[in-house]
């Protein structure tokens, strides 16, 4: 199974709830993709 996590961020870092969601998705097995969207989200994208 593949999971898609839509990241919540503050334009610089990924919010802790998103990191928890990624951890849970990894525990389920399969691929995990994280979507980091928004203006000036490059730094948050690097953190993902």
pLDDT number for residue 25? 97
* 38 neighbors 9 (Cβ within 8 angstroms): yes
pLDDT number for residue 40? 86
Q: Residue 45 corresponds to which tokens in the numbers above?
A: 């994208």
**Domain coordinates in residue numbering, the chain:** 3-47
Q: Rounded distance, CA 1 to CA 14, Å?
A: 24
Per-residue pLDDT of the chain (48 residues; tens, 9 = 90+): 899 999 999 989 999 999 999 999 999 999 999 999 998 888 888 887
Which residues have C-beta within 8 Å of that of residue 33, sequence separation ≥ 6? 2, 3, 4, 5
Does the pTM surpass 0.75? The reply is yes
């Amino acid at each position: 199974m593949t999971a898609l996590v839509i990241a919540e961020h503050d334009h610089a870092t990924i919010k802790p709830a998103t990191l928890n969601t990624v951890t849970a998705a990894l525990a389920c097995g399969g691929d995990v993709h994280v979507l980091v969207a928004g203006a000036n989200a490059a730094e948050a994208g690097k953190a993902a």
